[in-house]
Amino acid sequence: MEERNKVLEVKNLKTWFHTFKGVVKAVDDVSFELYEKEILGIVGESGGGKSITGFSIINMIDEPGIIETGEILFEGRNIVRLSEGEMNKIRGKKISMIFQDPMTSLNPVYTIGKQLEEILILHESLSKKERRNRCIELLKAVGISNAEKRLKNYPHEFSGGMRQRVVIAIALASNPKIIIADEPTTALDVTIQAQILRLMKKLVRENNCALILITHDLAVIAEMADRVNVMYCGKIVESGYTRDIIFHHLHPYTQGLIGSIPGTDTEKKRLTTIEGVVPNMFDLPKGCKFAPRCAYRQPVCFEEEPEIRDFGDNHRAACFFPVREGAV
Amino acid sequence: MFKYLLKRTFQMVFVLFIVSVIVFTMTSVIGNPVYNMLPQKATDQQIQEVVVMLGLDKPLYVQYWIFLKNAIRGEFGRSYTHFVPALGLIVSKFPATIEIVIVAMGLTILLGISLGVLAGARPKSKISKLIMFGSLAGISLPSFFMGMVYIFVFAVSLRWLPVSGRGEIGTILGIRTSLATLDGWRHIILPSMTLALLNIATIIRLVRAGMMEVMRQDFIKFARSKGVAARKVLYGHALKNILIPVVTIFGLQLGELIAFTTITETIFAWPGMGKLLIDSITNLDRPIISAYLLFVAILFVVINFVVDILYTFIDPRIDLNS
């Protein structure tokens, strides 16, 4: 991580949903950057705005959502307001996505080969034969044996883990700069999860590609990520290198998330939980969004919203009373 | 596949057998053609002669057996009113009917699917609301009424198109049809529009409902994230996933149109099968009615068979053998 070239910089991104019941600030003033070849984890509970952050990057926010303000700098230009046509030259080619449920992310009525080939037709200028060879090569790279025959198969003829491998192959097909993986292993068996994660890590490294890994599972993050953004109610509450987040976290929310990871210790102690529930997104508390659930809250937490502060070595947190004192 | 075809053929034969029994019973029980064929002051002897000539003196099951044997050879007897073989008469009227049906179904595919996709892709836009309003009107208004409205507007008031009749007839591939001439096309437009309206409206609603459902699916988002253009996402990825119900309904519509264009053909004085059926019913022309009904039954059975085969091309998960 010595020479660090930014591939993506998100500045003050706000993605809001204007519904009948009111405005949901799904992503509210989020800034972060992604460096080349880096694995960045985004972690948080459901509804924290992780997925919406991912979808905002490739500008796939559906109504009633809209990117209110903010910049997403990719290859030196702001891609927030690009036209659909221009965006389609980035999607799949430069930035691709992997979805949560491999059972539903492949089109059931087309063969694997056709769906793989489609992305090559869109973004690469290869002959028919070259495309076929590339498809076989990609399937082999994600560990699908008998690739030539498998090209003619339909998604329903594959298991969940195999489908996710196909999805990864599609995401990698035109050597993207960034892959955004939205809960890529959540829907898989635990035994398969580790395989898929290891495969993704290997392929990302081999292809010099950066990965944004969105998950609610801190264990996955600890295994995979170089850096972590912790999100809560649409905001980044803490960010830093994975080891700092795991061992020297500052934000009480991060502490809560880590406390709720089941360990494999011999002693069977009860898991700690974070009290309360995620607040209603239509009616967020004033001040710190986490204050109602926080063990260290003070009156000021309900009044003012803490700014995100730098604690050195890329470690930032938005809390008045960070868990680890004396760091300031 | 072969096993399936065999099973299916057996089923079709069975269905047609049942239909033949029903058709025979209905046409043998309803009305007595003898009185229609003879003058009012015919003597008992004359009546008896006609009864024997038509074979109506034999027991019913013998009559049915004769009917079935003849039906298999395509013989339904001569029309009581036209004095020509019944099936031949129906077949001779077939091109006239099929030509308005083809144009109507063409319109249905074109407009039904494109407007349905449009309305389903962006359900909140103004244009979708307009389309949905139009389709509601299309479903609610009876076609005979719309036929008369078209005649009044396009033929009588604006004088753009002819009021009725089949127009000039040309030849395509040895078949005499109005589709071969410009004048013929001018005559075809209004009856086809009348036939198509309800079907277009139905297909729009079906396609829209399917699209709204499928556009929420992950594989649509995944396709978009691959950089597939919006139009290709709609017509390439989404549409094929919703075609099963559309093809089913389309098959039923096609059969229904070919079989029952009666009202439209009557309004536009179109010399097709529908008009023939109406005339035959009025005249109690048994051979034509029974030939017609069996013809329609075969038509439906065949269309449904084709639809089932189409399923496997649309959705690879469908296995006909199970």
Q: Distance from B36 to chain A by nearest Cα, in Å?
A: 59
Write the CA distances from A328 to A241, A252, B305, B316, integer angstroms.
17, 16, 77, 62
Tokens of A186: 């959540």
Residue-level pLDDT, tens digit, chain B, 322 residues: 788 888 888 988 999 899 888 888 877 766 676 776 777 787 888 888 888 877 778 888 888 888 888 888 888 878 878 888 888 899 888 888 999 999 999 999 999 999 999 999 888 889 999 999 999 999 998 888 999 999 999 988 888 988 888 877 877 777 778 787 888 888 999 999 999 999 999 999 999 999 999 998 999 999 999 999 999 999 999 999 999 999 999 999 999 998 888 889 989 989 889 889 988 888 878 888 888 888 888 889 999 989 988 998 888 888 777 6
A326 touches chain B (CB under 8 A): no
Q: Could you tell me if A214 and A182 are in contact, meaning their C-beta atoms sit under 8 angstroms apart?
A: yes
Exposure of A180 in the CB half-sphere (CA atoms within 13 A): 27
d(CA B312, CA A171): 29
Q: Cβ A106–B219 below 8 Å, yes or no?
A: yes
- Which domains does chain A show, CATH number per domain? 6-94+174-317 (3.40.50.300)
d(CA B270, CA B191): 8
Q: Which pLDDT value is given to residue B30?
A: 64
Q: Which residues of B touch A (CB under 8 A)?
A: 124, 217-219, 221-230, 237, 240-241, 314-317
Q: What is the DSSP letter of A234?
A: T
Q: Cβ B227–A100 below 8 Å, yes or no?
A: no
Residues of A in contact with B314 (CB under 8 A): 109
Q: Cβ B228–A156 below 8 Å, yes or no?
A: no
pTM score: 0.82
Closest CA to B274 of B291, B261, B264, B285: B261
A89 touches chain B (CB under 8 A): yes
Q: Cβ B226–A170 below 8 Å, yes or no?
A: yes
Closest CA to A214 of A24, A69, A54: A54
Cα B233 versus chain centre, distance? 32
Q: Quick one: average pLDDT of A265-289?
A: 78
DSSP-derived pairing of the beta strands A6-19 and A65-74: antiparallel
Q: Which pLDDT value is given to residue A3?
A: 59
Q: Which pLDDT value is given to residue A1?
A: 45
Task: Please report, for chain B, how many H helices and E strands are present, in that order.
Answer: 15, 2
Q: Distance from A90 to chain B by nearest Cα, in Å?
A: 7
At A99, phi and psi to the nearest 5? Answer: -100, 170
Concatenated DSSP letters of B4-20: HHHHHHHHHHHHHHHHH
d(CA B177, CA B129): 39
Residues of B in contact with A91 (CB under 8 A): 224-227
d(CA B200, CA B206): 10
Tally Cβ neighbours within 10 Å of residue B87.
23
A92 touches chain B (CB under 8 A): yes
Q: Cβ B222–A167 below 8 Å, yes or no?
A: yes
Per-residue pLDDT of A161-187, as tens digits, reads: 899 999 999 999 989 999 999 999 888
ipTM of the complex: 0.88
Per-residue pLDDT of A64-83, as tens digits, reads: 899 999 999 998 889 998 99
Per-residue pLDDT of B253-297, as tens digits, reads: 999 998 888 889 989 989 889 889 988 888 878 888 888 888 888
Write the CA distances from B254 to A18, A328, B247, integer angstroms.
45, 77, 10
Residues of A in contact with B226 (CB under 8 A): 91-92, 96, 118-119, 122, 170
- Residue A326's pLDDT band, with cuts at 50, 70 and 90, is very low
Q: Which pLDDT value is given to residue A266?
A: 56
| Closest partner CB to B225 (pick from A84, A92, A104) | A92
Residues of A in contact with B231 (CB under 8 A): none
d(CA A142, CA A324): 42
* Mutation target among B222, B246, B247, B313 for the A interface, most CBs of A within 10 A: B222
Per-residue pLDDT of A182-214, as tens digits, reads: 999 888 888 888 889 999 999 988 888 999 999
Q: H helices within chain A, ranges in order?
A: 50-57, 84-90, 112-123, 128-141, 147-150, 160-172, 190-206, 218-224, 242-247, 252-259, 299-303
